[in-house]
Amino acid sequence: MEKKNSSGAVAVSSKDEKGMKMDGEDRMSTLQKHVAFFDRNNDGIIYPSETYKGFRAIGCGVALSAAAAMFINIGLSRKTRPGKSLSFRFPIEIKHISGGKHGSDSGVYDTEGRFVPSKFEEIFQKHSRKNSNALTSEELSAMLKANRVPKDFGGWLASWVEWKILYRLCKNKNGVLRKETIRAAYDGSLFEQMAAERASSLAKKKS
């Protein structure tokens, strides 16, 4: 269930999210939902091993999943654990995930990780040329360039990696990333679908 707050951003009830309840909070932001898929045991913390398993579950290979786990957990651990010292287990705290937001992005998540529908629509208004409800590889690259904040190299890299992985895994047979796919990536429901499809295709192969 999604509810709009006064700023038009969307907050999502935590009851929808695998029964997980955040400490002292009764709602998850869309950004929290986006990452909650990777919290494999639903304790509110994502360890590198969980990031790895999550990437494997959606169909990424061993090398990409391992690289993603390192890149994401080392990059986000300190930012999502305000006031705590560095942990070499590199945990990510979901309740503070908005602290891990990077620059040079599309602005679809606001500073608190809530979904901003107008920014989402803007992606397609500005960058879709061939099909108003999808992005081609070239359109995606143009969007990444347009979003770059000068000298924000960390943000450039993070955006590039996120979108290129999404494109590589989720483009359709015509080589485009559809709007509804991108929408589902933002709230993490895409990952649940991908994992379910992969599990069922693996089960079919075994039988």
Segment near Ca ion (CB under 5 A); pick from 35-43, 133-141, 158-166, 169-177 = 35-43
Residues 106-135 that bind Ca ion (CB under 5 A): none
Segment near Ca ion (CB under 5 A); pick from 43-51, 54-62, 116-124, 135-143 = 43-51
Rg for the chain (alpha carbons), in Å?
Answer: 17
Kindly state the smallest distance separating residue 39's Cβ from Ca ion, in Å.
4
Q: How many CB atoms lie within 10 A of CB 61?
A: 10
Kindly state the smallest distance separating residue 65's Cβ from Ca ion, in Å.
16
The binding track of 59-88 with respect to Ca ion, each residue x by CB under 5 A or -, is ------------------------------
Q: Does 39 bind Ca ion (CB under 5 A)?
A: yes
Segment near Ca ion (CB under 5 A); pick from 21-29, 34-42, 53-61, 157-165 = 34-42
| Closer Cβ to Ca ion, 11 or 94, answer by number | 94
Kindly state the smallest distance separating residue 31's Cβ from Ca ion, in Å.
17
Q: How far apart are CA 45 and CA 90, in angstroms?
A: 10
Q: Does 18 bind Ca ion (CB under 5 A)?
A: no
| Closer Cβ to Ca ion, 74 or 149, answer by number | 74
Rama region for 7: left / alpha / beta (φ>0; ψ in -120 to 50; rest): alpha
Q: Which phi and psi (to 5°) does residue 52 adopt?
A: -60, -50
Q: Where are the alpha helices (DSSP H) in the chain?
A: 30-36, 48-57, 62-76, 117-127, 137-147, 153-170, 179-186, 189-206
Q: Does 43 bind Ca ion (CB under 5 A)?
A: yes
Is the Cβ–Cβ distance between 198 and 57 less than 8 Å? yes
The residue among 138, 105, 115 whose CA lies nearest residue 33 is 115
Which member of 5, 7, 13, 41 binds Ca ion (CB under 5 A)? 41
Is the Cβ–Cβ distance between 116 and 110 less than 8 Å? yes
What is the contact surface with Ca ion in residues (CB under 5 A)?
Answer: 39, 41, 43, 45
